[in-house]
Copies of this chain bind each other. A is one copy, B any other.
Protein backbone atom coordinates (compact mmCIF):
# COMPACT_ATOMS: atom_id res chain seq x y z
CA UNK A 1 0.00 0.00 0.00
CA UNK A 2 1.00 3.61 -0.50
CA UNK A 3 0.97 5.30 2.88
CA UNK A 4 1.31 9.02 3.55
CA UNK A 5 2.42 9.77 7.10
CA UNK A 6 1.48 13.22 8.33
CA UNK A 7 3.89 14.04 11.15
CA UNK A 8 6.71 11.87 9.83
CA UNK A 9 9.29 13.64 11.99
CA UNK A 10 7.62 12.72 15.30
CA UNK A 11 8.16 9.89 17.76
CA UNK A 12 5.50 7.64 16.23
CA UNK A 13 5.70 8.91 12.65
CA UNK A 14 9.35 8.12 12.13
CA UNK A 15 9.12 4.68 13.71
CA UNK A 16 5.99 3.85 11.70
CA UNK A 17 7.69 4.71 8.42
CA UNK A 18 10.51 2.27 9.23
CA UNK A 19 8.05 -0.41 10.32
CA UNK A 20 5.82 -0.05 7.27
CA UNK A 21 8.78 -0.03 4.88
CA UNK A 22 10.00 -3.29 6.44
CA UNK A 23 6.52 -4.73 5.77
CA UNK A 24 6.84 -3.84 2.10
CA UNK A 25 4.68 -0.74 1.97
CA UNK A 26 5.54 2.35 -0.02
CA UNK A 27 5.88 5.24 2.40
CA UNK A 28 6.06 8.99 2.03
CA UNK A 29 5.65 11.67 4.62
CA UNK A 30 5.30 15.31 5.53
CA UNK A 31 6.14 17.40 8.55
CA UNK A 32 6.83 21.03 9.41
CA UNK A 33 9.24 20.26 12.24
CA UNK A 34 7.07 21.84 14.88
CA UNK A 35 7.59 19.06 17.44
CA UNK A 36 11.28 19.98 17.51
CA UNK A 37 10.46 23.65 18.00
CA UNK A 38 7.85 23.04 20.74
CA UNK A 39 10.27 20.90 22.75
CA UNK A 40 13.08 23.45 22.30
CA UNK A 41 10.67 26.18 23.36
CA UNK A 42 10.15 24.48 26.73
CA UNK A 43 13.92 24.20 27.17
CA UNK A 44 14.33 20.54 26.35
CA UNK A 45 15.39 18.26 23.51
CA UNK A 46 15.05 14.63 22.48
CA UNK A 47 17.29 12.67 24.86
CA UNK A 48 18.09 10.16 22.17
CA UNK A 49 19.97 12.01 19.43
CA UNK A 50 18.08 12.11 16.14
CA UNK A 51 19.07 13.28 12.69
CA UNK A 52 18.16 16.79 11.53
CA UNK A 53 15.09 17.08 9.35
CA UNK A 54 17.29 17.74 6.31
CA UNK A 55 19.32 14.61 7.02
CA UNK A 56 16.11 12.64 7.45
CA UNK A 57 14.94 13.77 4.01
CA UNK A 58 18.13 12.25 2.63
CA UNK A 59 17.90 9.07 4.73
CA UNK A 60 14.32 8.67 3.67
CA UNK A 61 15.20 8.95 0.01
CA UNK A 62 18.24 6.68 0.26
CA UNK A 63 17.00 3.90 2.53
CA UNK A 64 13.30 3.88 1.73
CA UNK A 65 13.07 5.45 -1.72
CA UNK A 66 10.41 7.75 -0.33
CA UNK A 67 9.71 11.47 -0.39
CA UNK A 68 9.72 13.47 2.81
CA UNK A 69 8.29 16.95 2.19
CA UNK A 70 8.05 20.03 4.32
CA UNK A 71 4.35 20.77 4.87
CA UNK A 72 2.34 22.59 7.52
CA UNK A 73 -1.10 21.00 7.89
CA UNK A 74 -2.66 24.39 8.66
CA UNK A 75 -1.72 25.48 5.12
CA UNK A 76 -4.67 24.07 3.18
CA UNK A 77 -3.02 24.58 -0.21
CA UNK A 78 0.18 22.81 0.78
CA UNK A 79 -1.54 19.79 2.34
CA UNK A 80 -3.93 19.55 -0.60
CA UNK A 81 -1.08 19.57 -3.13
CA UNK A 82 0.86 16.97 -1.18
CA UNK A 83 -2.13 14.66 -0.96
CA UNK A 84 -2.92 15.16 -4.65
CA UNK A 85 0.66 14.42 -5.70
CA UNK A 86 1.29 11.43 -3.43
CA UNK A 87 -2.18 10.00 -4.14
CA UNK A 88 -1.90 7.57 -1.21
CA UNK A 89 -4.12 4.62 -0.31
CA UNK A 90 -3.87 5.51 3.35
CA UNK A 91 -3.16 8.74 5.22
CA UNK A 92 -1.92 8.28 8.77
CA UNK A 93 -2.44 11.56 10.58
CA UNK A 94 0.00 11.83 13.49
CA UNK A 95 0.67 15.52 12.90
CA UNK A 96 -0.90 17.24 15.87
CA UNK A 97 0.32 19.12 18.91
CA UNK A 98 0.35 16.22 21.40
CA UNK A 99 0.89 17.73 24.84
CA UNK A 100 -1.79 18.34 27.48
CA UNK A 101 0.41 20.66 29.61
CA UNK A 102 1.52 22.68 26.55
CA UNK A 103 -2.11 23.29 25.64
CA UNK A 104 -2.81 24.42 29.23
CA UNK A 105 0.08 26.91 29.49
CA UNK A 106 -1.98 30.00 28.71
CA UNK A 107 -4.68 31.53 26.51
CA UNK A 108 -2.46 31.77 23.43
CA UNK A 109 -1.33 28.14 23.65
CA UNK A 110 -4.91 26.96 24.15
CA UNK A 111 -6.02 28.80 21.03
CA UNK A 112 -2.92 27.70 19.11
CA UNK A 113 -3.54 24.04 19.98
CA UNK A 114 -7.13 24.31 18.76
CA UNK A 115 -6.21 26.06 15.52
CA UNK A 116 -3.27 23.78 14.76
CA UNK A 117 -5.02 20.49 15.44
CA UNK A 118 -8.52 21.26 14.18
CA UNK A 119 -7.50 23.14 11.01
CA UNK A 120 -4.96 20.50 10.15
CA UNK A 121 -7.53 17.73 10.30
CA UNK A 122 -10.14 19.81 8.45
CA UNK A 123 -7.64 20.56 5.67
CA UNK A 124 -6.82 16.86 5.33
CA UNK A 125 -10.54 15.97 5.16
CA UNK A 126 -11.15 18.57 2.43
CA UNK A 127 -8.10 17.40 0.46
CA UNK A 128 -9.36 13.79 0.68
CA UNK A 129 -12.83 14.83 -0.48
CA UNK A 130 -11.34 16.69 -3.43
CA UNK A 131 -8.53 14.41 -4.59
CA UNK A 132 -9.07 10.92 -3.23
CA UNK A 133 -12.40 10.25 -1.50
CA UNK A 134 -11.59 6.54 -1.23
CA UNK A 135 -8.45 7.05 0.83
CA UNK A 136 -8.51 5.58 4.32
CA UNK A 137 -7.67 8.15 7.01
CA UNK A 138 -6.04 6.64 10.09
CA UNK A 139 -6.20 9.42 12.64
CA UNK A 140 -4.38 9.39 15.95
CA UNK A 141 -6.80 10.19 18.74
CA UNK A 142 -6.25 9.47 22.41
CA UNK A 143 -7.80 7.23 25.06
CA UNK A 144 -7.75 10.46 27.08
CA UNK A 145 -10.69 11.71 25.00
CA UNK A 146 -12.99 9.54 27.09
CA UNK A 147 -11.92 10.85 30.47
CA UNK A 148 -12.69 8.38 33.24
CA UNK A 149 -16.40 7.49 33.14
CA UNK A 150 -17.85 5.10 35.71
CA UNK A 151 -19.07 2.71 33.00
CA UNK A 152 -17.15 0.55 30.54
CA UNK A 153 -16.00 2.55 27.52
CA UNK A 154 -17.34 1.08 24.31
CA UNK A 155 -15.13 0.77 21.26
CA UNK A 156 -17.30 2.90 19.01
CA UNK A 157 -20.89 4.02 19.58
CA UNK A 158 -23.01 3.01 22.57
CA UNK A 159 -26.64 1.91 22.65
CA UNK A 160 -28.55 4.24 24.96
CA UNK A 161 -32.02 3.47 26.28
CA UNK A 162 -34.05 6.32 27.67
CA UNK A 163 -37.71 6.48 28.53
CA UNK A 164 -38.59 3.39 26.54
CA UNK A 165 -36.76 4.39 23.37
CA UNK A 166 -33.33 3.36 22.09
CA UNK A 167 -30.61 4.78 19.83
CA UNK A 168 -26.98 4.08 19.00
CA UNK A 169 -25.01 7.23 19.69
CA UNK A 170 -21.36 8.33 19.96
CA UNK A 171 -19.84 7.52 23.36
CA UNK A 172 -19.94 10.76 25.41
CA UNK A 173 -16.42 12.09 25.94
CA UNK A 174 -14.92 14.24 28.66
CA UNK A 175 -11.34 15.30 27.99
CA UNK A 176 -9.20 16.70 30.77
CA UNK A 177 -7.09 19.26 28.89
CA UNK A 178 -7.44 21.54 25.87
CA UNK A 179 -5.25 19.11 23.98
CA UNK A 180 -7.62 16.23 24.70
CA UNK A 181 -10.56 18.46 23.81
CA UNK A 182 -9.06 19.20 20.38
CA UNK A 183 -8.87 15.45 19.83
CA UNK A 184 -12.57 15.17 20.73
CA UNK A 185 -13.37 18.01 18.32
CA UNK A 186 -11.40 16.23 15.59
CA UNK A 187 -13.24 12.98 16.27
CA UNK A 188 -16.60 14.75 15.94
CA UNK A 189 -15.47 16.44 12.72
CA UNK A 190 -14.13 13.25 11.14
CA UNK A 191 -17.33 11.41 12.03
CA UNK A 192 -19.35 14.15 10.29
CA UNK A 193 -17.14 14.02 7.17
CA UNK A 194 -17.60 10.25 6.95
CA UNK A 195 -21.39 10.61 7.29
CA UNK A 196 -21.80 13.48 4.84
CA UNK A 197 -19.08 12.90 2.28
CA UNK A 198 -18.74 9.11 2.48
CA UNK A 199 -15.09 9.24 3.55
CA UNK A 200 -13.69 6.37 5.59
CA UNK A 201 -11.62 6.67 8.71
CA UNK A 202 -10.20 4.79 11.65
CA UNK A 203 -10.04 6.98 14.74
CA UNK A 204 -7.41 5.46 17.00
CA UNK A 205 -8.03 6.04 20.70
CA UNK A 206 -4.49 5.23 21.71
CA UNK A 207 -3.10 4.68 25.18
CA UNK A 208 0.30 5.83 26.44
CA UNK A 209 3.08 4.53 24.21
CA UNK A 210 6.49 3.75 25.71
CA UNK A 211 9.76 2.45 24.38
CA UNK A 212 12.82 3.74 22.62
CA UNK A 213 13.06 1.64 19.50
CA UNK A 214 11.62 -1.16 17.40
CA UNK A 215 13.51 -4.18 16.02
CA UNK A 216 13.19 -2.82 12.45
CA UNK A 217 15.60 0.03 13.35
CA UNK A 218 18.27 -2.68 13.67
CA UNK A 219 20.38 -0.52 15.95
CA UNK A 220 21.07 1.89 13.09
CA UNK A 221 21.55 5.22 14.88
CA UNK A 222 20.51 7.28 11.89
CA UNK A 223 17.09 5.66 12.25
CA UNK A 224 16.67 6.68 15.92
CA UNK A 225 13.31 8.10 16.87
CA UNK A 226 12.98 10.89 19.41
CA UNK A 227 12.52 10.50 23.15
CA UNK A 228 11.05 13.29 25.27
CA UNK A 229 11.06 13.29 29.06
CA UNK A 230 10.42 16.92 29.98
CA UNK A 231 7.36 17.86 32.09
CA UNK A 232 5.54 19.15 29.02
CA UNK A 233 6.15 16.64 26.21
CA UNK A 234 7.28 13.59 28.16
CA UNK A 235 4.75 10.99 29.28
CA UNK A 236 4.53 9.79 32.88
CA UNK A 237 6.46 6.58 32.18
CA UNK A 238 9.22 8.47 30.35
CA UNK A 239 9.48 10.79 33.34
CA UNK A 240 9.73 7.85 35.74
CA UNK A 241 12.59 6.30 33.74
CA UNK A 242 14.58 9.52 33.55
CA UNK A 243 14.01 10.36 37.22
CA UNK A 244 15.28 6.93 38.22
CA UNK A 245 18.33 7.16 35.96
CA UNK A 246 19.06 10.62 37.42
CA UNK A 247 18.73 9.26 40.99
CA UNK A 248 15.83 11.68 41.52
CA UNK A 249 12.64 10.58 43.27
CA UNK A 250 10.03 9.11 40.91
CA UNK A 251 7.06 11.49 41.16
CA UNK A 252 3.44 10.40 41.12
CA UNK A 253 0.91 13.18 40.55
CA UNK A 254 -1.52 13.02 43.47
CA UNK A 255 -2.62 9.60 44.71
CA UNK A 256 -1.07 7.84 41.73
CA UNK A 257 -4.05 5.53 41.40
CA UNK A 258 -4.93 6.96 37.99
CA UNK A 259 -5.55 4.08 35.56
CA UNK A 260 -4.29 4.42 32.02
CA UNK A 261 -3.96 2.14 29.01
CA UNK A 262 -0.35 1.50 27.95
CA UNK A 263 1.36 -0.16 25.01
CA UNK A 264 4.97 -0.53 23.86
CA UNK A 265 6.13 1.32 20.75
CA UNK A 266 6.36 -1.89 18.76
CA UNK A 267 2.74 -2.71 19.64
CA UNK A 268 1.64 0.74 18.54
CA UNK A 269 3.31 0.06 15.18
CA UNK A 270 1.69 -3.37 14.99
CA UNK A 271 -1.75 -1.93 15.78
CA UNK A 272 -1.54 1.05 13.43
CA UNK A 273 -0.44 -1.33 10.68
CA UNK A 274 -3.38 -3.66 11.36
CA UNK A 275 -5.70 -0.66 11.00
CA UNK A 276 -3.90 0.42 7.81
CA UNK A 277 -4.01 -3.02 6.23
CA UNK A 278 -7.66 -3.63 7.17
CA UNK A 279 -9.55 -0.51 6.13
CA UNK A 280 -13.17 0.16 7.06
CA UNK A 281 -15.77 0.37 4.30
CA UNK A 282 -16.72 3.53 2.45
CA UNK A 283 -18.47 6.04 4.69
CA UNK A 284 -17.50 4.18 7.84
CA UNK A 285 -16.15 5.95 10.89
CA UNK A 286 -14.43 3.22 12.88
CA UNK A 287 -13.19 3.68 16.43
CA UNK A 288 -10.38 1.54 17.80
CA UNK A 289 -9.28 1.54 21.44
CA UNK A 290 -5.58 0.84 21.07
CA UNK A 291 -3.65 -0.35 24.12
CA UNK A 292 -2.26 -3.52 25.61
CA UNK A 293 -3.37 -3.29 29.25
CA UNK A 294 -4.61 -0.84 31.87
CA UNK A 295 -2.18 -0.13 34.71
CA UNK A 296 -2.36 2.23 37.67
CA UNK A 297 0.43 4.79 37.52
CA UNK A 298 1.85 3.65 40.87
CA UNK A 299 2.20 0.16 39.43
CA UNK A 300 4.10 1.56 36.44
CA UNK A 301 6.27 3.65 38.77
CA UNK A 302 7.02 0.54 40.81
CA UNK A 303 8.01 -1.38 37.69
CA UNK A 304 10.45 1.35 36.69
CA UNK A 305 11.72 1.68 40.27
CA UNK A 306 12.48 -2.03 40.62
CA UNK A 307 14.28 -2.23 37.28
CA UNK A 308 16.31 0.86 38.18
CA UNK A 309 17.13 -0.77 41.52
CA UNK A 310 18.46 -3.85 39.71
CA UNK A 311 20.52 -1.62 37.42
CA UNK A 312 22.07 0.06 40.44
CA UNK A 313 20.01 3.25 40.41
CA UNK A 314 18.49 3.42 43.84
CA UNK A 315 15.74 5.96 44.31
CA UNK A 316 12.29 6.30 45.87
CA UNK A 317 8.71 6.88 44.71
CA UNK A 318 7.00 9.98 46.11
CA UNK A 319 3.55 11.53 45.69
CA UNK A 320 3.53 15.19 44.75
CA UNK A 321 0.68 17.68 44.38
CA UNK A 322 -1.15 16.94 41.16
CA UNK A 323 -0.69 19.82 38.70
CA UNK A 324 -3.71 18.54 36.75
CA UNK A 325 -7.37 18.34 37.65
CA UNK A 326 -8.29 14.69 37.23
CA UNK A 327 -9.70 11.75 39.14
CA UNK A 328 -6.85 10.09 41.02
CA UNK A 329 -8.64 6.86 41.91
CA UNK A 330 -11.39 5.70 39.61
CA UNK A 331 -13.05 2.97 37.57
CA UNK A 332 -11.58 2.47 34.11
CA UNK A 333 -12.40 -0.18 31.58
CA UNK A 334 -12.17 0.67 27.88
CA UNK A 335 -13.28 -2.23 25.71
CA UNK A 336 -10.62 -3.31 23.21
CA UNK A 337 -11.50 -6.21 21.01
CA UNK A 338 -11.25 -4.91 17.47
CA UNK A 339 -7.47 -5.05 17.15
CA UNK A 340 -7.35 -8.50 18.75
CA UNK A 341 -9.90 -9.61 16.16
CA UNK A 342 -7.66 -8.19 13.45
CA UNK A 343 -4.75 -10.24 14.80
CA UNK A 344 -3.02 -8.02 17.35
CA UNK A 345 -0.56 -10.01 19.48
CA UNK A 346 -0.07 -7.89 22.59
CA UNK A 347 3.28 -7.68 24.34
CA UNK A 348 2.22 -8.47 27.86
CA UNK A 349 5.66 -8.26 29.52
CA UNK A 350 5.92 -4.61 30.54
CA UNK A 351 8.97 -5.37 32.70
CA UNK A 352 10.98 -6.69 29.77
CA UNK A 353 10.04 -3.70 27.62
CA UNK A 354 10.97 -1.19 30.31
CA UNK A 355 14.28 -2.98 30.90
CA UNK A 356 15.18 -2.64 27.25
CA UNK A 357 14.09 1.02 27.30
CA UNK A 358 16.12 1.77 30.41
CA UNK A 359 19.14 0.09 28.85
CA UNK A 360 18.86 2.36 25.80
CA UNK A 361 18.33 5.48 27.91
CA UNK A 362 21.20 4.77 30.29
CA UNK A 363 23.66 5.58 27.52
CA UNK A 364 22.38 9.15 27.39
CA UNK A 365 22.34 9.82 31.15
CA UNK A 366 24.85 12.65 30.80
CA UNK A 367 22.54 14.59 28.48
CA UNK A 368 19.59 14.68 30.89
CA UNK A 369 18.53 18.22 31.87
CA UNK A 370 17.05 17.68 35.35
CA UNK A 371 15.44 21.14 35.42
CA UNK A 372 12.92 20.30 32.71
CA UNK A 373 11.47 17.22 34.42
CA UNK A 374 9.20 18.72 37.07
CA UNK A 375 5.69 19.87 36.13
CA UNK A 376 5.53 23.65 35.71
CA UNK A 377 2.05 23.97 34.24
CA UNK A 378 -0.87 23.82 36.62
CA UNK A 379 -4.47 23.32 35.45
CA UNK A 380 -5.89 25.88 37.95
- Tell me if A165 is interfacial: C-beta within 8 Å of chain B: yes
Q: Establish whether residues B188 and A380, one from each chain, have CB atoms under 8 Å apart when the complex forms.
A: no
> Which of A171, A189, A192: most chain B CB closer than 10 A?
A192
Partner of A162, one of B115, B158, B176: B158
With A123-B107, A152-B163, A170-B174 already in contact, the answer to whether A197 and B115 are too (CB < 8 A) is no
| Min C-beta distance of A350 to chain B, whole Å | 27
How far apart sit A108 and B379, CA to CA, in the bound complex (Å)?
33
- Tell me if A172 is interfacial: C-beta within 8 Å of chain B: yes
How far apart sit A174 and B192, CA to CA, in the bound complex (Å)?
8
Name the CB-closest residue of B to A335: B163
Q: Establish whether residues A172 and B169, one from each chain, have CB atoms under 8 Å apart when the complex forms.
A: yes
How far apart sit A163 and B151, CA to CA, in the bound complex (Å)?
8
| Min C-beta distance of A114 to chain B, whole Å | 5
In the complex, per-residue mask of A151-194: 1 if CB is within 8 Å of any chain B CB, else 0: 11010001011110111011111111010010011001101100
Name the CB-closest residue of B to A79: B107
- Tell me if A118 is interfacial: C-beta within 8 Å of chain B: yes
- Tell me if A119 is interfacial: C-beta within 8 Å of chain B: yes
- Tell me if A21 is interfacial: C-beta within 8 Å of chain B: no
- Tell me if A150 is interfacial: C-beta within 8 Å of chain B: yes
Q: Establish whether residues B181 and A325, one from each chain, have CB atoms under 8 Å apart when the complex forms.
A: no
Partner of A149, one of B80, B107, B167: B167
Partner of A150, one of B108, B150, B166, B195: B166
Partner of A184, one of B123, B150, B169, B188: B188
How far apart sit A104 and B195, CA to CA, in the bound complex (Å)?
14
How far apart sit A184 and B151, CA to CA, in the bound complex (Å)?
23
Which residues of B sit under 8 angstroms from A379, Cβ to Cβ?
196
In the complex, per-residue mask of A121-163: 1 if CB is within 8 Å of any chain B CB, else 0: 0110010000000000000000000000111101000101111
Which residues of B sit under 8 angstroms from A163, Cβ to Cβ?
151-152
Count of chain A residues near B, Cβ 8 A = 50
In the complex, per-residue mask of A89-119: 1 if CB is within 8 Å of any chain B CB, else 0: 0000000000000000011101100110011
- Tell me if A51 is interfacial: C-beta within 8 Å of chain B: no
Q: Establish whether residues A160 and B170, one from each chain, have CB atoms under 8 Å apart when the complex forms.
A: no
Partner of A123, one of B111, B170, B175: B111
In the complex, per-residue mask of A236-265: 1 if CB is within 8 Å of any chain B CB, else 0: 000000000000000000000000000000
- Tell me if A273 is interfacial: C-beta within 8 Å of chain B: no
- Tell me if A295 is interfacial: C-beta within 8 Å of chain B: no
Which residues of B sit under 8 angstroms from A123, Cβ to Cβ?
107, 111
| Min C-beta distance of A323 to chain B, whole Å | 12
How far apart sit A111 and B154, CA to CA, in the bound complex (Å)?
30
- Tell me if A314 is interfacial: C-beta within 8 Å of chain B: no
Name the CB-closest residue of B to A150: B167
- Tell me if A296 is interfacial: C-beta within 8 Å of chain B: no
Q: Establish whether residues A161 and B151, one from each chain, have CB atoms under 8 Å apart when the complex forms.
A: yes
* 26 A/B residue pairs, CB under 8 Å, sorted by A: A76-B107, A80-B107, A107-B122, A110-B122, A111-B119, A114-B122, A122-B178, A150-B166, A151-B161, A151-B165, A151-B167, A165-B331, A170-B172, A170-B174, A171-B172, A174-B192, A175-B188, A175-B192, A176-B192, A178-B189, A178-B192, A181-B185, A181-B192, A184-B185, A184-B188, A196-B325
- Further contacts, 7 of them, CB under 8 A, given A107-B123, A169-B172, A175-B192: A76-B108, A80-B107, A115-B115, A149-B167, A151-B166, A152-B163, A181-B192
Name the 8 nearest CB pairs between A and B, nearest first: A107-B126, A150-B167, A169-B172, A151-B162, A185-B185, A151-B165, A170-B172, A196-B325
